[in-house]
């Protein structure tokens, strides 16, 4: 009989967190929830506590934590409510926890995910910003403390599945040594794949968040619409698979059925296919190297019938070129790219800047901030803060001029 695996889910109220809980609920004999965390969604977190009875529930917002604690007490649940960033790091490194789902969106997920690495946990990485911001620091900690890192992004999970079974993901190894010539990273193209540049100037946050294939949070939906999300995934793939920029090729695939591919030196290409359902990569990582039932519909190739593959348009989606630029520059450049993007997306969602202003703002911040070497986490956080400050200042000028 399998032993029980205890989980902390960082970001349990988001789309990845709720999908993870759906998979967990299908396998009560295998998984138990030790801790659930959220930013401020105390109503959703309370319902999750009722169903999964974690030992800890963490909220970053003080008021939300107080409301949750009161409701937990009234319900008579044996759940300890914690609050603050330090509590996230605590529940990510609990000795009883085997696996940590890192699904906090953005830079806020960096410190608790690092804490999980330093505690030697099995980390299911859905927060791509951890590797974009601090790839060298994070990968060094994973190796130093013997943590296990498994990608959750559907594209990187697909690449992982298509790699040779003996492939090592430590950053000291190379693709070429395993007979791999290229990683083909698929992209749906988002809701604006065929939208003209002139029309993009007037798109609304609601239109940008209406992804044709995936159900995602607002920030990542906008990232998909600008294709900055794919740019972040290029940088993530570099660190996960030790792939140089020239060995990572973006392929637009509107159906989102082929989740990514690996091209080998003998000319063959291996792909992973499946319906666009995040429960599939989540379950694969949870049970690795086994496979378990997910609740997802099996893929019907006759129903799909056609699979299209298109070269990306770097003019319509300049964020892709900016990501390659940041990856090649190295050092603090990816952290600057990520920070500027977070500021720009928040401004767009608040209807302060236009859709096309997002990549312009990122480009200006990258151009104005010098690239410095990253040796420590503080180097990353300093660059992140500087980029946010500059992005906010430049954004104010954009608003004044508009």
Q: What confidence tier does 399 reach under pLDDT thresholds 50, 70, 90?
A: low
On whether the CB atoms of residues 109 and 19 are closer than 8 A, the answer is no
Task: Give me Rg for the CA atoms of the chain.
Answer: 21
Compute the distance between CA of residue 47 and CA of residue 17 in angstroms, rounded to an integer.
13
- In the chain, CATH 3.40.50.720 covers 5-151
Tens digit of each residue's pLDDT (9 = 90 or more) over 103-162 = 998 888 999 999 999 999 999 999 988 999 999 999 999 999 999 999 999 999 999 999
CA dist 188 to 155, 184, 258, 264, 307, Å?
A: 11, 13, 10, 23, 12
**Options 2.70.180.20, 1.10.1740.10, 1.20.1260.10, 3.40.50.300; CATH of 162-274+313-401:** 1.10.1740.10
- In the chain, CATH 1.10.1740.10 covers 162-274+313-401
Residue 268: enclosing H or E segment and its boundaries? none
Tokens (6 digits) for 327:
């990856």
Tens digit of each residue's pLDDT (9 = 90 or more) over 317-349 = 999 999 999 999 999 999 999 999 999 999 999
Backbone angles phi, psi at 67, to 5 degrees: -65, -45
Compute the distance between CA of residue 37 and CA of residue 87 in angstroms, rounded to an integer.
9
CA dist 16 to 79, 97, 294, 388, Å?
A: 22, 19, 14, 26
Tens digit of each residue's pLDDT (9 = 90 or more) over 274-323 = 999 999 999 999 999 999 999 999 999 999 999 999 999 999 999 999 99
Decide: helix, strand or coil at residue 385: helix
Q: What confidence tier does 65 reach under pLDDT thresholds 50, 70, 90?
A: very high
* Residue closest to 273 by CA, chosen among 287, 261, 290: 261
3-state secondary structure 33-78: EEEEEECCCHHHHHHHHHHHCCCEEEECCHHHHHHHHHHHHHHCCC
Contacts with 309 (C-beta within 8 Å, 6 or more apart), sequence order:
251, 252, 253, 258
On whether the CB atoms of residues 271 and 258 are closer than 8 A, the answer is yes
Least confident range of 51-55, 205-209, 260-264, 292-296: 205-209
Q: What's this model's pTM, rounded to 2 decimal places?
A: 0.91
Compute the distance between CA of residue 6 and CA of residue 70 in angstroms, rounded to an integer.
26
Helix pair angle (377-401, 333-349), 10° resolution: 40
On whether the CB atoms of residues 212 and 187 are closer than 8 A, the answer is no
Tokens (6 digits) for 363:
């480009």
Residues in the chain, total: 402
Tell which phi-psi region holds residue 281, choosing left (phi > 0), alpha (psi between -120 and 50) or beta. alpha
Tell me if the bond preceding 289 is cis, omega within 30° of 0.
yes
Tens digit of each residue's pLDDT (9 = 90 or more) over 168-226 = 654 455 788 889 999 999 999 989 988 998 899 899 999 999 877 766 778 888 999 99
Query: CATH fold of 5-151, please?
Result: Rossmann fold (3.40.50)
């Amino acid at each position: 009989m399998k032993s029980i695996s205890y989980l902390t889910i960082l970001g349990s109220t988001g789309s990845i967190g709720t999908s993870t809980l759906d998979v967990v609920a299908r396998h009560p004999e295998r998984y138990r929830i030790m801790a659930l965390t959220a930013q401020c969604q105390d109503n959703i977190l309370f319902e999750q506590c009722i169903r999964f009875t974690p030992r800890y529930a963490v909220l970053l917002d003080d008021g939300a934590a107080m409301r949750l604690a009161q409701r937990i007490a009234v319900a008579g649940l044996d759940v300890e409510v914690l609050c603050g960033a330090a509590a996230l790091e605590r529940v990510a490194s609990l000795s009883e926890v085997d696996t940590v789902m890192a699904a906090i969106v953005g830079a806020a997920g960096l410190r608790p995910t690092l804490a999980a690495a330093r505690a030697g946990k099995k980390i299911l990485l859905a927060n791509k910003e951890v590797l974009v911001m601090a790839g060298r620091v994070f990968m060094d900690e994973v190796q130093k403390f013997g943590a296990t890192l498994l990608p959750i992004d559907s594209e990187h999970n697909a690449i992982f599945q298509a790699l040779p079974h003996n492939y090592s993901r430590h950053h000291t190894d190379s693709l070429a040594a395993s007979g791999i010539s290229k990683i083909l990273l698929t992209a749906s193209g988002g809701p604006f794949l065929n939208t003209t540049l002139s029309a993009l100037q007037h798109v609304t946050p609601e239109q940008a968040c209406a992804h044709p294939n995936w159900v995602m949070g607002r920030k990542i939906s906008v990232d998909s619409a600008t294709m900055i999300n794919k740019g972040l995934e290029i940088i993530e793939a570099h660190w996960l698979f030790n792939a140089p920029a020239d060995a990572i090729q973006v392929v637009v695939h509107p159906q989102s059925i082929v989740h990514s591919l690996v091209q080998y030196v003998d000319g063959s290409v291996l792909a992973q296919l499946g319906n666009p359902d995040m429960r599939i990569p989540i379950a694969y990582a949870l049970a690795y190297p086994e496979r378990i039932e997910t609740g997802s519909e099996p893929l019907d190739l006759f129903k799909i019938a056609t699979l299209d593959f298109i070269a990306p348009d770097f003019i319509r989606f300049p964020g892709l070129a900016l990501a390659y630029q940041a990856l090649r520059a190295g050092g603090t450049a990816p952290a600057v790219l990520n920070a500027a993007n977070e500021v720009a997306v928040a401004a767009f969602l608040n209807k302060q800047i236009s859709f096309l202003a997002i990549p312009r703002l990122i480009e200006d911040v990258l151009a104005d901030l010098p690239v410095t070497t990253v040796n420590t986490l503080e180097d990353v956080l300093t660059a992140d803060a500087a980029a946010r400050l500059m992005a906010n200042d430049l954004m104010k000028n954009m608003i004044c001029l508009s």
